Amino acid sequence: MTMIVKWLGHSCFHILGENGRSILMDPFNEDEVGYPMPKMDVDIVTISHDHLDHNNVDAAGEGPDVIFGPGEYTSYDMILRGIESYHDEKKGKIRGENTIFCFELDGVRVCHLGDLGHVLSKAQIAEIGPVDLLFIPVGGRFTIDATNAEKVMKQLQPKVTVPMHYRTKALAFELGPVDDFLKGKVGVTAQEKLQMTGKDLSGECRVVLLSCPAAEGQVNR
């Protein structure tokens, strides 16, 4: 059995560990985003910031551990670290603060950047540490765009990078397309889920594009 990662649209991911541990990251309010947010029961939900397209705790089921804000947290024998960052390039003066979440599951070091709005400082890079699996916003307008996403990816040098927070057919507001970030990257095709094993942590770094039928308007409301 391997760790399984699914993209539920926008910046929301569901991670299922080998031992059944389940984590939901940045679940969205479907009225805000424009397509359905699945309801599920998970152990842990992380919220990068208190905006409606990232903070739908109710989608996580009954009684999950809710992780919100900077700091170190222990949940289900896991240590999760929230790292202070900003939603814009002016230290939060425009859109507020953002929390980057890092944790290790099944030997995979995961980093979700939330709505990061700037390239990282040296202190933030050091605090994040080594990254195996990176979730990064690429659509611009409210976050870093494709150009700065490329810079952040080079700063962190993850083994696997998954883009998020970009324009889709069903999205209710305008963002840049993922194509801008994918330019020059060879062999990237959309896949339903990402299965992480030890072999994924060796070799060259790669970009994985995850698919979400709801985000492309392919499911009935």
> What is the value of pTM for the model shown?
0.95
Contact 80, 64 (CB under 8 A): no
Q: Give residue for tokens 């980057």.
A: 100
What SS3 class is residue 33?
Answer: helix
User: Residue 102 and residue 113: Cα distance in Å, rounded?
Assistant: 9
Q: What is the pLDDT along the chain (221 residues), one digit of tens a residue?
A: 589 999 999 999 999 999 899 999 999 999 999 999 998 999 999 999 999 899 999 999 988 999 999 999 999 999 999 999 988 888 878 888 999 999 999 999 999 999 999 999 999 999 999 999 999 999 999 999 999 999 999 999 999 999 999 999 999 999 999 999 999 898 898 999 999 877 778 777 899 999 999 999 986 54
